[in-house]
Amino acid sequence: MKIAFVSITLDPERDTPEVLKDYARAWGAKLDGWSFLTGPPEAVLAVTKRYGAFVAKNKDGSVDHTQLTSIVDAEGAMRVQYLGARFDPEEFRRDLLSLLYRR
Entry pTM:
0.78
d(CA 5, CA 84): 17
User: With contact defined as beta carbons under 8 Å apart, do 39 and 12 qualify?
Assistant: yes
What is residue 51's predicted lDDT score, i.e. its pLDDT?
A: 86
User: With contact defined as beta carbons under 8 Å apart, do 56 and 65 qualify?
Assistant: yes
The domains of the chain, with CATH numbers, are 5-100 (3.40.30.10)
What is residue 58's predicted lDDT score, i.e. its pLDDT?
A: 92
Q: What is the DSSP letter of 86?
A: -
**pLDDT tens, position by position, for the chain (103 residues)?**
588 899 999 999 999 999 999 999 999 998 898 999 999 999 999 988 888 888 898 999 899 998 888 998 888 888 999 988 788 889 999 999 888 887 5
What is residue 74's predicted lDDT score, i.e. its pLDDT?
A: 83
In 30-67, the DSSP E strands lie at 34-37, 55-57, 63-65
What is residue 1's predicted lDDT score, i.e. its pLDDT?
A: 54
Element housing 69 (H / E)? strand 68-72
Q: Amino acid identity of 98?
A: S
User: With contact defined as beta carbons under 8 Å apart, do 35 and 4 qualify?
Assistant: yes
What is residue 99's predicted lDDT score, i.e. its pLDDT?
A: 85
